[in-house]
Amino acid sequence: MFVSPNATPPAQTGELRRRTRATSPPDTPRCAATALPAQECRVSDARRFARALLASWGVTGDDLDSAVLIVGELAANAARHGRADMTLVLTLTDRVLNVEVVDSGEPDEHPHPPCADDEHGRGLAIVEHLAESIDIREEPRRHTTHATLRLT
């Protein structure tokens, strides 16, 4: 931005400048990801990430609670039974939230020591109850669990 050396700063002219936050139209696809060590004590980090991100995308109420619960269950499952790393991917398109948790790398021969705030998932039954669909794919060096949640 070019500013003339003779320009009067806005504060001196009494002009107020308002900052506006750019927002996307409601149907604009949104996607974000975070990578974490596949450790049970990192499940709460995955939930916090999801809650903050989805709230910033305008997901609220029961939809937000259900989405965070799905993230927590899938992340806990990946941390308990997965490999070295886990990646959480959230995609929101046309009021449909896709949650994908991928654990990858070599299986850890020496399990991570327990963390003070370990959390245990309650299995995929909760995810199956909340989600519209769930898909599980097993590959030699990665395991992917994908759940779809239709938002109200």
Question: Does residue 21 lie in a domain region?
Answer: no
Question: Does residue 10 lie in a domain region?
Answer: no
Number of domains in the chain: 1
CATH number at 96 reads 3.30.565.10
Question: Does residue 22 lie in a domain region?
Answer: no
105 — pLDDT class (breaks 50, 70, 90): confident
DSSP 3-state of 30: strand
135 — pLDDT class (breaks 50, 70, 90): very high
> What pLDDT sits at residue 7?
40
110 — pLDDT class (breaks 50, 70, 90): low
Is residue 122 over pLDDT 70? Answer: no
9 — pLDDT class (breaks 50, 70, 90): very low
Question: Does residue 46 lie in a domain region?
Answer: yes
Question: Does residue 118 lie in a domain region?
Answer: yes
Closest Cα to residue 79, out of 53, 44, 27?
Answer: 44
